[in-house]
Every structure is written in C-alpha cells, then in structure tokens.
Amino acid sequence: MNGSKRNWDGIGWVIFAGAAGGSLSWLYSLVLKQPLCDSVFLSLISSILFGVLAGGTGVYVFKLVDQSVFARTFFIAVLFGFVWKPVIEAIPDYVRKTAQTLLDSKAEAIAEKATASSEKLSPEGDPANLKPQIKTTGDEAVKAVATLPSVKSSTSTHQAVTDSAVTAVGALRDVAIRSEDASVKKEATEALSKVGNAALSTQSYGVANAVSKSLEEVADKNADPTIKGQAQDIKKKIDALNAPPAATSVHP
C-alpha cells in the first residue's frame, strides 16, 4: 500500500476486510442469539455495510495504522468491522470534536486580531490615524464577541475570546476619556456602543458589563456634554437588559 496510487488501490482490501469483520460480527450475534433484527438477511447485510464503514473509519479517518504495512492494516480493518457498533457510535462524536476544534481555532485567530488592534490604540495619537484604528478595533471586537456562543463548550477558548474583547473595550474607553479631540472621543464611544450591542445580542454578559462600566467612566470623566450624554444613553440601554454581574473587569 505504498504511494498514493497503491493507497487508493488498497481501499478494496480495506472494504473486503471490513465486510469480513462485519460478517464475523453477524455470526457472533447468532451464536449469542442476539441478532441485530428479526430478519437474518437484513442483519447480515447491515452488519457487512456497518463493518465496511467501521473498517474504513479505523484505517482512513482515525488513521490507527501505517497503511504501508498491509497485514496490520488488513487485520485492523477486520477488527473494526467486527466491533462496528462502538465505532459507528463514535463517528458523530469525532465529527463534533473536529468541528469544534475548527471553530475554536477560528475564534482564537479573531481574538488575536482584536487584541493586536487594541494594542495599537493610543489616546495621544494623531486623530487622523486614530479614527480608522478605532473603527478597526471596534469591528474586530464585535467579530470576537460574535464567536462566543460557538465556543461556550471550550472554556479556555471562550475565556481567551472574552479577554480579547474586554481588552479592546478598555482601549476604546481610554481613547474616549483621554483623547483631546472631540470627534475621536465620539467615535470611540460609538465603537463601545457597537461592542456592547454585540455582547447583548450574544448574551455575553461579561463583555456587556465591561462596556457598561467603561461607559460610566467615559461619562464621569468627560466635560463635553455631548460625549457625556452619549455615553450615559448607551449605558442605560445596556443596563436595561439586566445583565447579571460577572467577574469581568476592564484592563487598566
């Protein structure tokens, strides 16, 4: 089974071995008087088909053997064909785990972009450069928050994405408070609003609470009545949804 062509040619042997294992499982069920169903013929066909699927799964999906070793590959396929039931039951779980791994990787990549973008923000920066950076940071944070529902089952990934969003919130808050340009303050406050809305729509209460706290600081530390009022209005909308308290703080 060496080489890509021989590997492909070898699939016939894997199918045969899986079918043989399935047939053996059918015979074993007869010995134990535990047939798969009432019809002997249907039991045999089902066992063979499931055996082929299980054998192929063990060799090509789980990759438990070096396919260049023919005898080992053949007997592994027979063995998996014989014990096809637990193998078939394991396939959905394997697919779920693979899909979740892909989702985690995508979410982590987005989180890294959000963190990198927020690190570039400086309240003392040139307003002409700050405005596009604010937009980018806000957009990346929104994207990160949008992935949170899909990674709830992965604690470490969920926490990493949450942290990246909270870091971005903190950076936007600093710009909204410390920038000397009113238009920059306004843009940073609007970016906070977008992140807050995204957090509420995904029920990411930790991020929503971080946004609420940041907006409170923006309102308290701004003399500009327009910015103060804008921050207070957005905060009220977030707080109106009664987000439960979370142990999430804005990075200093």
Reply yes or no on whether the pLDDT at 142 is more than 90. yes
Determine the average pLDDT of the residues in 182-192: 91
For the chain, the first-to-last Cα distance in angstroms comes to 60
CA pair distance 56, 79, nearest whole angstrom: 11
pLDDT of residue 57: 80
250 within 8 A of 173, measured Cβ to Cβ: yes
Average pLDDT over the chain reads 83
CA–CA separation, 175 and 231 (whole Å): 13
Please tell me the distance from the alpha carbon of residue 110 to that of residue 122, in angstroms, as a whole number.
Answer: 21
pLDDT digits (tens, 9 = 90+) for 34-87: 777 777 788 888 888 888 888 888 787 777 666 666 777 888 888 788 777 777
Confidence (pLDDT) at 12: 79
Question: pLDDT band at residue 115, thresholds of 50, 70 and 90?
Answer: very high
More confident: 136 or 71: 136
Contacts of 230 (CB under 8 A, 6+ apart): 186, 189, 190
| Rounded Cα–Cα distance for residues 31 and 231 (Å) | 76
Please enumerate in sequence order all residues whose Cβ is within 8 A of that of 231, keeping only pairs 6 or more positions apart, or say none.
176, 189, 192, 215, 216, 218, 219, 222
Confidence of residue 168 (pLDDT cuts 50, 70, 90): very high
Give 194-221 pLDDT, tens digit per residue.
999 899 889 888 899 999 999 999 999 8
- Read off the pLDDT band of 248 (50, 70, 90): very low
For residue 1, is pLDDT > 60?
no
How confident is the model at residue 244, as a pLDDT? 57
Closest CA to 143 of 153, 132, 151: 151
pLDDT at 103 over 80: yes
| Dist CA 70 CA 164 (whole Å) | 49
Instruction: State the pLDDT at residue 5.
Output: 47
3-class secondary-structure state, position 64: coil
pLDDT tens-place string over residues 222-241: 888 888 888 888 888 888 87
Spatial contact of 191 and 137, defined as CB atoms under 8 Å apart: yes
Share of the chain above pLDDT 90, in %: 33
Q: In 3D, which of 160, 110, 148, 117 has the Cα closest to residue 135?
A: 117
Question: In this structure, what DSSP letter does residue 36 have?
Answer: S
3: number of CA atoms within 13 Å, CB side?
Answer: 3
Q: Count how many residues are written for the chain.
A: 252
What's the CA gap between 94 and 81, in Å, rounded?
A: 18
Categorize the per-residue pLDDT at 249 as very low, low, confident or very high, splitting at 50, 70 and 90.
very low
Which residues have C-beta within 8 Å of that of residue 139, sequence separation ≥ 6?
Answer: 194
